[in-house]
Amino acid sequence: MRNFQIYDPELVIKKGVDRTEQISWDVARNHIDIGFVSGRVPSNLHSLLNIKPYIKEEVVLISNFSLFGHLKTIKIKHLYYLDIIGLDPHTSAQKSINSCLTRSGINCDRLFYKIQLNSTEAIKGAVKENFGVSFISFKSIKKESKLSFTFVFRIKNQRMFRTLWIISNLNRIDSIKALKIKAKILTPISDYKKNFIDKIVY
C-alpha cells in the first residue's frame, strides 16, 4: 500500500484489521475514495458500490522452526496436531483465511488455535518467538522468509489463495486529480496478475 503514495505524496492511506464492513460503509458514504478489503462486503451495499477483484494473495503456513526437516510442504492431516496462532475468529480477515483453508479441504474446526492476536505483525512476532505456527499471506512474510527468520510451508499438491477486493462508490464524482490517481491504483502492482479472476465469487 505504501507504494501508492509514489503516485501522490498527499495520498492518505489507513490500514486496519477487521474493518471490511466499516470500510464498505465509509466508501458508500463518500468518506473515503477507495477501499481494499479481504472480507465479505455487506450485501445491502452491493447496489451502491463497484466491487472488483484486485489481486489474489497466496496463503502459506509459517513457522520459526523446520517442522519436517528439509521438506517445504505439509500434509493436511499433520495440521491438526499443530499449535496455531491466528486473528480473532470473528474478524473478517480471519474469516477470509478460514474460507481459503476450507476451499483447500482443511477442516478449520479441527485446527487448534493456541493464541488469537489482533494484527499480522503481532502474529509474526509470536511465530518468531516460537509460540506456534500461523497461516498468513506470503507477501506479508516475504522479507522475513528471505532472511531465514521463518520457514514457509505449503500444503502438499496445492496452493492456497485469498482475494483482495477493491471497492469504490458507483455514484461518486471524482476530480481530475482523483481520477488520475485511481487509474494508476486500479492497475494492479502485484506479482500475482496471472491469478486474477473476472467475477465476484464468495
Each residue's pLDDT tens digit, 146-175: 656 678 888 888 889 988 888 888 888 776
Max avg pLDDT among 99-108, 163-172, 186-195: 99-108
Q: Are 179 and 7 in contact (CB under 8 A)?
A: no
Structural domain includes residue 201 = no
Structural domain includes residue 38 = yes
Q: Scanning the structure block, which residue is given the C-alpha cell 476450507?
A: 102
pLDDT at 83 > cutoff 50? yes
Q: What are the cell numbers at 196?
A: 486474477
Q: Are residues 26 and 37 in the same domain?
A: yes
Q: What are the cell numbers at 90?
A: 470473528
Q: Are residues 64 and 149 in the same domain?
A: yes
Query: What pLDDT does 72 receive?
Result: 81
Mean pLDDT on 2-29: 72
Q: Are residues 76 and 139 in the same domain?
A: yes
Query: What pLDDT does 168 receive?
Result: 87
Stretch among 44-53, 75-84, 138-147 having the lowest mean pLDDT: 138-147
Q: Are residues 110 and 138 in the same domain?
A: yes
Q: Are residues 167 and 151 in the same domain?
A: no
Domain of 186, in residue numbers: 2-55+162-195
pLDDT at 133 > cutoff 90? yes
Query: What pLDDT does 199 receive?
Result: 34
CATH code (residue 29): 3.40.190.10
Structural domain includes residue 111 = yes
Q: Are residues 63 and 131 in the same domain?
A: yes
Query: What pLDDT does 115 receive?
Result: 93
Q: What are the cell numbers at 122?
A: 503481532
- 64 φ/ψ sector (left φ>0, alpha ψ -120 to 50, else beta): alpha
Q: Are residues 87 and 172 in the same domain?
A: no
> If pLDDT is split at 50, 70 and 90, which confidence band does 17 have?
low
pLDDT at 119 > cutoff 60? yes
Q: How many CB atoms lie within 10 A of CB 35?
A: 24
